[in-house]
Amino acid sequence: MLSKTKLVLVSFIILLALNSCGDREALSWESEIFLPLIDDNITWSSLVPDSILVVGEGGEPARLVYNGPLDIFSQSTLTSLPDTTLDNVFSMGNDLPIAIPVPEDFPFMDITNDMTITNLGGGSDTYLRELVLSGGTMTFTVESTVSGILNMNYSLPSVTVNGVVVGIDLEVPASLGGVNGQATSSIDLAGAVFDLTGADGTSNNIIQSAFTAINSPLNSEVFYITNLDSLSISIELHDMDIQQAKGYFGNVDLEYGTQVSLIDTVPIPNPVLNLEGAVAKLRIDNLIGADIRMVFDTLLVDGSPVSHPSLYGAHDIPRAQWIEGNLIDHTVLEIDLGESGSNIFDLMETLPQLLRIAGSVELNPFGDISFGNDFIDIDYISEVELEIEIPFHMGVDGVILEESYTIDPMDFPNFDGMLLVDFTSTFPVEVIADIKYVVNDSIGTVVSIDGVIEAGMSFPETPAYSLVEIPINQAIIEPGGEIFLVLTVRTDGAQIFTGYENIRVQVRIEGTQLIEVQ
């Protein structure tokens, strides 16, 4: 009986416990969330290419620097020779009163000859004494009226490549049925050295040639030559690019017109520059062994003409001094574009984008005063460089930066809190921050707020702080989204920027989530 009583009591306790568990509420608690999302540092390099920004030291303004060449001395104009064809006809003439058999074991023609190059460009008075080519092709074409096969050697003793005399050996077919025998061969002239002074060493434009023709062993029968037979040799010079040249380059006028983009990559809104201390120069380095006369006709800044007291007109620049292919000395002409009386800085007050210059270059304006000792090396072409320095002392009005940041989806149930944006700025002016958070939900919910970042200082470094708070909940953070940041600056007059200024942007969320356990 006692055992039955114990069993009933245990069963009652178990049923009571089970009934108590079924009525109990789910366990829950709040958890604090502190989650950094973004840490970004915005500097002038976000706006201005490092290649043109030179930061200022000790509180001095940074400088926008452009230093680049103007394409005035075109290499293709100065270092390319026109295509040239040299023709030679070697005939028997009156030397053979009767037809004679061609000997088998020695040349029946052995001729040396000087050829004159006349097509050098630059005027009829141009002549060369020495020439080194960086590229080009020489093509030999031989036509024969002789009725037998010939072995021919044609060489140019005054032309060498890698120290070896340029020449060809050709097998020239026999003339048959009134059709001349013809053979062709080409030679690469890269590195070719021409001595154009002739046999006496005092001439110019002369290429020496040597020519031999001999009976070929391929002939099975004796053949004859007559006073009507001839060999025609054509030498074609194509695509000749000069590495070095010496002679007289003629009195030549070369027109130029070129433009350069200056600092159009700098998206500074409505800038007004204080150009005290600005620099604008033209530098002309004459590295050619020939006198030049630079003529400037036009200088435009963003389409507006530059007035200048001394730029326009002719500027004579003496030749560089070369000795045995070595540059000893050269002349530099520097023109201050910002000198008194010039309006170039007035035209540059809103950050110029484009500069255009046009005029002409006259080579050897005083004639052949070097007596054939003009010299050029392709690695030392004369240069015209433009140098512009603009101090970062300016007024700004408008948006200086637009940035965006992606926020990944987050699983924080029943979240309630803030999206916090911290700004730390050393910009010396007030910065307005417009923040917009676009949620990746079905309707593209937008949460936006404005903030003001007070002026800081980059030298000595004195940052200003600002905090922007955006209330958010689970519906906003769960899908993720994108933050769009727009920074606007409005200065009161010109302000010095050292180039060290920066704005640090830190984004985080803070709040609580509700965790439930059944």
Question: Which tens digit of pLDDT belongs to each residue from 298-356?
Answer: 999 999 999 999 999 999 999 999 999 999 999 999 999 999 999 999 998 877 889 99
Which residue range is the domain that position 186 belongs to?
Answer: 77-248
345 and 256, same domain (yes or no)? yes
- Within a domain: 235: yes
Given a contact cutoff of 8 angstroms between Cβ atoms, the answer to whether 480 and 438 are in contact is no
Pairwise CA distance, residues 370 & 29, whole Å: 98
**Distances in whole angstroms, Cα of residue 444 to Cα of each of 202, 416, 434, 468, 479:** 87, 20, 18, 22, 10
Q: Which amino acid is at 332?
A: V
Select from 376, 391, 406 the last residue of a domain. Answer: 391
Instruction: Bin 261: left if φ > 0, else alpha if -120 < ψ < 50, else beta.
Output: beta
pLDDT value at residue 237: 92
Tens of pLDDT, residues 387-408: 999 898 988 888 888 889 999 9
Q: Give the count of alpha carbons within 13 A of 468, CB side only.
A: 22
86 and 204, same domain (yes or no)? yes
- Nearest Cα to Cα of residue 379 among 248, 287, 283, 282: 287
- Within a domain: 470: yes
Percent of the chain with pLDDT over 70: 91
340 and 243, same domain (yes or no)? no
Continuous segment of H or E residues that includes residue 220 = none
Instruction: Residue 40: give its domain's CATH number.
Output: 2.60.120
417 and 384, same domain (yes or no)? no
β-pairing, 164-172 vs 252-261, is unpaired
**Distances in whole angstroms, Cα of residue 285 to Cα of each of 109, 115, 133, 174, 317:** 53, 37, 24, 58, 9
402 and 507, same domain (yes or no)? yes
Select from 330, 359, 391 the last residue of a domain. Answer: 391
234 and 255, same domain (yes or no)? no
β-pairing, 279-286 vs 331-336, is antiparallel
- Within a domain: 466: yes
106 and 216, same domain (yes or no)? yes
Q: Inform me whether the pLDDT recorded for 24 exceeds 60.
A: no
Pairwise CA distance, residues 53 & 312, whole Å: 31
223 and 330, same domain (yes or no)? no
pTM of this prediction?
Answer: 0.76
84 and 229, same domain (yes or no)? yes
The total number of structural domains in the chain stands at 3
Tens of pLDDT, residues 445-454: 999 899 999 9
Pairwise CA distance, residues 225 & 77, whole Å: 48
Q: Inform me whether the pLDDT recorded for 39 exceeds 80.
A: yes
Tell me what the mean pLDDT of segment 353-377 comes to.
94
Select from 248, 271, 293 the last residue of a domain. Answer: 248
| DSSP secondary structure code for residue 459 in this structure | T
Q: Three-state SS for 191?
A: coil
- Within a domain: 104: yes
Tokens of 48: 């201005």
- Integer distance in angstroms from the first to the last C-alpha of the chain? 42
193 and 145, same domain (yes or no)? yes
- Within a domain: 117: yes
Cis amide bond preceding 460, omega within 30: yes
- Within a domain: 83: yes
pLDDT value at residue 490: 87
- Within a domain: 39: yes
- Within a domain: 141: yes
Tens of pLDDT, residues 235-285: 999 999 999 999 999 998 989 999 998 765 566 777 888 888 899 999 999
508 and 477, same domain (yes or no)? yes
81 and 225, same domain (yes or no)? yes
What φ, ψ does residue 154 adopt, rounded to 5°? Answer: -130, 125
